[in-house]
Structure 1
Amino acid sequence: MPREDAVTTPDLPWIKSYPPGIPWNAKIDMLPVHHLLDDAAARAPDRHAIEFQGKAYTYAQLHECVQRFAAGLQSLGVGPGIKVGLYLPNSPHYAIAFFAVLKAGGTVVNYSPLDAGAVLAHKIADSETDIIVTLDLESLYPLMNKLLGSTRLKTLVVGNMGEVSGAPDKVQAELRSQGQLCDVAWDAQRIAFASLLDNDGLCAPVAPIDLHDTIAVLQYTGGTTGLPKGAMLSHGNLSAGCSQAVQNLSGGTGLQDGRETFLAVLPLFHIYALTFNLLLGVRLAATLVLHARFDPAAAIRDLAEKRVTVFFGVPTMFTAINMFPGVEGNDFSSLKLSNSGGAPLPVEVHERYEALTGCKLQEGWGMTEICGVGTNTPMQRRHKIGSCGVPLPGITIRFISVDDPGKPVAYGRQGEICIAGPNVMTGYWKKPEATAEAMTPDGFLRTGDVGYMDDDGFMWIVDRIKDMILCSGYNVYPRNIEEAIYKHPSVAEVLVVGVPDAYRGEAPKAFITLKQGAPSFTLDELKGFLKDSLGKHEMVQALEFRVSLPKTAVGKLSRKELQDEEKRRVASSA
């Protein structure tokens, strides 16, 4: 944890950009995470908490399901120190299981349905997970069932989509006809989700929760350098992050308690969605219109018809909405907040979305290790397009030299972003050396992101340190090149990676998808287009068109896969 005096520096350039009534040093509420649901159910028992495939759960109903599932988990031995994995798509199962694990005294471990078998096995062993909640889907069950016999995993709790929908039999029949269902051989190791709800909901008391040290969630990082590491997010970390988000987004024309409707299409197993859709939504007693996956047509329909007020997404989602045929004919007037995170948002996408919807599109920055909470623009302030906003209440940001981490960098100059605040993780699970390497001597977390802060305290991300390309001795940031390429009228999406170059050491290569019906172009034509935007050392030296670009589980473009492809290509040619 950062030292207490690490977050009390009075000379903070972003203070001037805070609106009246939102002090940077406001009290940050910290509480056991499951109390967020307890409080919402007490305040708004009859309000819809979740709407999913024709079925609605009120806050009272969701709370009762959580109570019952927690009691069911306790019958399986769940309590303090016990890890329960959630291997689920977006469905009510996730919300029920998440809060129930915490109420039972256990720790949630999130598992991505996109993970390979080896990564899942690593997480099971590393986190010491003995119970996993999943569904009977062909995309989930077979792989996890295999791990039931080859890892320490002891129990699978298996649900189905029908039981949380408005038409259970119809939904299950459709999934079976499409070949998406698996038959489950029920036994002592394979237990039905519904069976854990079949009780009176009387949970046994659990040990008192230490807000700073009791781990609520083990959230594994993306594993861009080796196997994923588990970030230990305490109850205090997560509830603080939620409190910081509420203070940033509420007040005046901001979000109001009991009056918002969220479109929740980001995957809840990802920290961005966990904090800003599930936890923030429940904290505000909002209605979560939950989608199992992002489909542009379905998202656009619900944005308009369900009068959604809040939409958190990633750049690829806003790009897809912008480009969807006939999108202009929809009424988006109910939207009061749209927010993009997870990756930098191209300026062209930003401007098109705001013109299309009439809703201000904000940008934020966060990461797993800080509960997804770092910077954003207060709703009452003008957003600077391309910036990721100002630090949220209680957060301090500093910069250090990329080349000499022991050397501080002044605000206004580029450096590695370092952050301190009550939302910063307690450390990496079972990795004290990695934890120590990630922290500065005065208790700030080194993020690995390169950026700078302007005179108004707005932060601008340049790139990831590990994504930098070293061209003829110069540090070249792919993000700068991508922004320039996005201005080309034919470009839909682009990623730039470094490839070996005999003369320069490394050179930028652009991977591009084209807009529907847009004309292609040559490398020389692209260079001509970019000549006024990029320096000679930054100029693209290779070009490849793709039908689609790789994406992460949350839907943001994934540079790592292309980097790995290029490494394999070079190794093969050698």
Structure 2
Amino acid sequence: MAAVDISPAAALYRRARVPTPTAVVYEGREISAEELGRTAGEFAAGLSERGLRRGDRVAYLGFNSATFLETLFAAAHLGAVFVPVNFRLAADEVRHILNDCGAHTLVVEEGHRELVESILTDVPARNHVLVDTDPACPAAPLTAPTWTPLSRLRGPHRPVREPVALYDDDLAALMYTSGTTGRPKGVMLTHGNLWWNAVNVDSVVDTRCDDVNLAVAPLFHIGGLNALTLRTLVRGGTVVVRRAFDPARCLEDLVDHRVNSLFAVPAMFAALARVPGFAEADLGALRSAIVAGAPVPPQLIRDYADRGVLLQQAWGLTETAPFATYLPAGLTREKTGSAGVPMPYTGIRLMHPGTGAAIDGHDVRGEICVRGPNVTPGYWDNPDATRAAFDDTGWFHTGDIAYRDEEGFYYIVDRLKDMIISGGENVYPAEVERVLAEYPGALEAAVIGVPDPRWGETVLAVLSCEAGTAPTVEEVRAFADGYLARYKLPTRVMLIERLPRNASGKLDKAELRRWVEAQEPAARTS
């Protein structure tokens, strides 16, 4: 069978030829598919004149925006590789990414320009494009040496050639992992990876061609970009893009735009539920609310279900583009806490972390491994990391620990690297955190292992609580005693105003450990 062109740029241009709803609503401005396609094509023509070729890397540093999407489509038009950069990274981290990917072109919003200028002499990029076409961005200076205004690369007089045909194995994006255990690695995602995730999602989630999707999660993160956003654009729906997540604004958007689909991490859904007026807001249009990216407190699921919104849990990683499992909406209450079952075109297997032997029984914990067309082919220019992640039969070893119940539903327990070994017993922090999140007055809970002269490690709980709530370790242990084995109970408790999170909304345990070390012995511990 002949290969099929799955270029997102070609799909956008096809959409633009027929009447469809507004493609993008961005900070109050409506952008049609025809306009988005035209500006992306003109941008592609300008980049081509500047020497950008198929396979070259285009890095973008800025907040969620219509220009972010325009850059993605322009890169796809030329067969170039899109590299979205985490806008919260420090200069040294950005330098590493730009050098690691060998960026040919940088597209940067004002507000990030000075950071990039501090490292420009250390990175290979030959094109430096400054966004001056977005009124929602900080105003770009009239003259900025070494920078080309984006407006100069766009224009109706540039001939726009047909987009490059792209197939399953063509590289679409490099998305850099958070690097919590070292330098970030560039996850290679092909156009096939992105496309097959969309097929998986459309097969099990109630998505429709004219959906309104709200994009408030960072688009540099695979969940923000490819859970729903990209698919909505190329299918014919509308994406409401916000530069950043604001809980109150998010609630307004859900109501005002009659949003049908939303991807967010648990911390975002929790913040949304605390907005005044949440209980009365009309969320009747919200059919597909997907929560993933971090452990989901069962109480959060129950609270939304009581509100009439069925949060649909999914699990995956950047390497799986992003989803590997999904819990159908109809099972939200019955299987609260489960990450669901394998996506239709994705294989899941549990393996013993030490031996790699397959685990066939239920309720046995092992490393969850993934195989399928949505799974990355490996890490950019890092064969050692790729070999370490894949076994000889093609299974990707995720580093997550899970078990499967009698009915075949998976439950993610924790990251293998975060496991605490106390007196020879394995303690998975996420399991303890789910219980502590139910403590009366607790807003968030995190668990880390700390050295102990008797047990090797013991459990330290860090809680963020409502004002006036200051539980002692005895109170926390008494609460959790009926839910957890005694060796899993916290031996100490610390209180924090807010748990540290990275730009993707995930709990930043490295930062949390640094905070704990800085507080001791002055901080109140029990």
TM range (shorter): over 0.9
Aligned to 2:39: 65
Kept after mapping to 1: 8 A contact 2:314/2:340: yes
Other structure's SS at 1:211 match: coil
Q: Note the 1:527-546 alignment, pairs <5 A.
A: 527-546=477-496
Matched, 1:233 2:183: no
Contact in 2 for aligned 1:127/1:230 (Cα 8 Å): yes
Give the drift of 1:349. 1.1
Q: Which SS does the other structure have where 1:408 is aligned?
A: coil
Pair 1:146 & 2:146 matched: no
The one-letter code of the counterpart of 1:35 is A
Which amino acid letter does the alignment assign opposite residue 148 of structure 2? Answer: I
Which whole-Å deviations, capped at 9, do the CAs of 1:35-59 have from their partners, x for residues lacking one?
A: 332343244x441111012210011
Q: Distance in 1 between matches of 2:412 and 2:310?
A: 20
Cα distance in 1, alignment partners of residues 503 and 355 from structure 2: 31
Distance 1:553 1:390 in 2: 28
1:178-257 equivalent positions in 2, closer than 5 A: 183=141, 185-187=143-145, 189-200=146-157, 202-204=159-161, 209-212=166-169, 214-249=170-205, 254-257=206-209
C-alpha contact (below 8 Å) 1:508/1:539 kept by paired residues: yes
Q: Determine if contact 1:338/1:361 at 8 Å carries over to the other structure.
A: yes
Between the aligned partners of 1:207 and 1:334, the Cα distance in structure 2 is: 37
Question: How far apart, CA to CA, are the structure 1 residues paired with 2:418 and 2:142?
Answer: 44
TM-score of the two chains, using structure 1 as the length reference: 0.86
Note the alpha carbon deviations across 1:419-476, whole angstroms, 9 max, x for none: 1000111111111121111112211100000001223222110000001001111110
Q: Paired residue for 2:439?
A: 488
- Asked if structure 2 preserves the Cα contact closer than 8 Å seen for 1:95 and 1:278, the reply is no
* CA shift for structure 1 position 182: 6.0
> Does the residue aligned with 1:342 lie in a helix, a strand or coil?
coil
Residue 205 of structure 1: CA displacement? 5.6
Q: From 329, 332, 350, give the equivalent of 2:280.
A: 329
Query: After superposition, where does 1:50-199 map in structure 2 within 5 Å?
Result: 50-137=24-111, 140-160=112-132, 163-164=133-134, 168=135, 183=141, 185-187=143-145, 189-199=146-156
Question: Per-residue deviation at 1:325?
Answer: 2.4
2:76–2:164 CA contact under 8 A, matched in 1:
no
Deviation for aligned residue 1:108? 0.8
1:377-433 Cα deviation digits (max 9, x unpaired): 24566662101111111111001112x233221141210001100011111111112
What CA deviation, in whole Å up to 9, does each residue of 1:126-149 have, x standing for no partner?
A: 110131111112xx1210122223
Instruction: State the alpha-carbon separation in 2 of the partners of residues 81 and 421 from structure 1.
Output: 24
The residue type paired with residue 522 of structure 1 is T
Compute the displacement of 1:498 (Å): 0.9
User: Between Structure 1 and Structure 2, how many residues are aligned?
Assistant: 518
Who is 1:553 aligned against? Answer: 503
Amino acid at match of 1:451: A
**Structure 1 Cα separation of the partners of residues 258 and 36 of structure 2:** 22
**How far, CA to CA, are the matches of 1:82 and 1:360 in structure 2?**
42
CA distance 1:460–1:301, shift in 2 (3 Å)? same
Shift of 1:564: 4.2
Q: SS of the counterpart of 2:446?
A: strand
Matched position secondary structure for 2:23: strand
Aligned to 2:250: 299
Give the distance between the partners of 1:313 and 1:98, measured in 2 at CA.
21
Say if 1:499 and 1:396 are closer, same or farther in 2 by CA, change over 3 A: same
CA distance in 1, matches of 2:4, 2:360: 31
Structure 1 residues 201 and 354 mapped into 2: Cα distance closer, same or farther (>3 Å)?
Answer: farther
State the distance in 2 between where 1:127 and 1:345 align. Answer: 33
Aligned letter for 1:245? V
| Cα distance in 1 for residues equivalent to 2:108 and 2:324 | 31
Between the aligned partners of 2:159 and 2:331, the Cα distance in structure 1 is 47
Pick 1 or 2: higher relative contact order, CA cutoff 8 A, min separation 6: 1
Tell me the amino acid that sits aligned with residue 183 of structure 1.
P
Tell me, yes or no, if the aligned pair for 1:507 and 1:541 is still in contact at 8 Å. Answer: yes
| Alignment partner of 1:47 is 2:47 | no
The question of whether the paired residues in 1 share the 8 Å contact of 2:187 and 2:380 is answered with: yes
Q: 1:473 aligned to 400, 424, 441, which one?
A: 424
**2:392 maps to what in 1?**
441
Answering whether residue 326 of structure 2 is matched by residue 376 of structure 1, we say yes
Question: Does residue 36 in structure 1 map to residue 6 in structure 2?
Answer: no
Q: SS of the counterpart of 1:34?
A: helix
Segments of structure 2 that go 5 or more residues without pairing to the other structure are 522-526
Checking the alignment, whether the CA contact within 8 Å between 1:508 and 1:538 is kept in structure 2 is yes
What do the CA deviations read for 1:208-253 (whole angstroms, capped 9, x no partner)?
54521x211011111122101111111111111122211121xxxx
Q: Distance in 1 between matches of 2:47 and 2:468?
A: 54
Tell me the distance in 2 between the aligned counterparts of 1:382 and 1:35: 37
Report if the CA contact (8 A) 1:246-1:280 is conserved.
no
Report the alpha carbon displacement of residue 262 of structure 1 after superposing the two structures with TM. Answer: 0.9
**Residue 534 (structure 1) shift:** 1.5
Deviation, structure 1 residue 373: 1.8
Show the counterpart of 1:25.
none
Q: How far apart are the structure 1 equivalents of 2:81 and 2:423?
A: 48
AA in 1 matched with 2:358: P
The 1:229/1:568 distance shift into structure 2, 3 A limit, reads farther
Aligned partners of 1:342 and 1:556 also within 8 Å: yes
How much is the aligned-residue C-alpha RMSD, in angstroms?
2.2
- Note the C-alpha offset of 1:255: 1.9
Asked if 1:263 is matched to 2:221, the reply is: no
Distance 1:77 1:418, change over 3 A: same
For 2:5 and 2:423, the matched residues in 1 are separated by 49
C-alpha distance in structure 1 between counterparts of 2:356 and 2:511, whole Å: 32
Shift of 1:549: 0.9
Distance in 1 (CA, whole Å) between partners of 2:4 and 2:54 is 23
Shift in Å, 1:567: 6.2
Q: Would the aligned equivalents of 2:213 and 2:229 in 1 still touch at CA under 8 Å?
A: no
SS in structure 2 opposite 1:449? strand
Code of the aligned partner of 1:91: S
> How far 1:34 sits from its partner (Å)?
2.6
Percent identity of the aligned residues?
31
Matched-pair contact (CA < 8 Å) for 1:148–1:156? no
Shift of 1:521: 1.4
Q: Shift of the alpha carbon at 1:299?
A: 0.4
Residues 1:518 and 1:321: Cα distance change in structure 2 (over 3 Å): farther
CA distance in 2, matches of 1:301, 1:102: 33
Residue identity in the other structure for 2:442: V
Deviations 1:35-89 (A, max 9, x none): 332343244x441111012210011111111111111111111111211101121
Distance 1:158 1:208 in 2: 28
For residues 181 and 255 of structure 2, the distance between their equivalents in structure 1, rounded to whole angstroms, comes to: 41
**1:314-363 CA distance string (max 9 Å, x none):** 1011111112223223111111111101011101111112222x121100
Q: Which amino acid letter does the alignment assign opposite residue 68 of structure 2?
A: Y
Secondary structure of the residue that 1:364 maps to in structure 2? Answer: strand
CA displacement, residues 113-160 of structure 1 (integer Å, 9 cap, x when unaligned): 0111111111111110131111112xx121012222332233321114
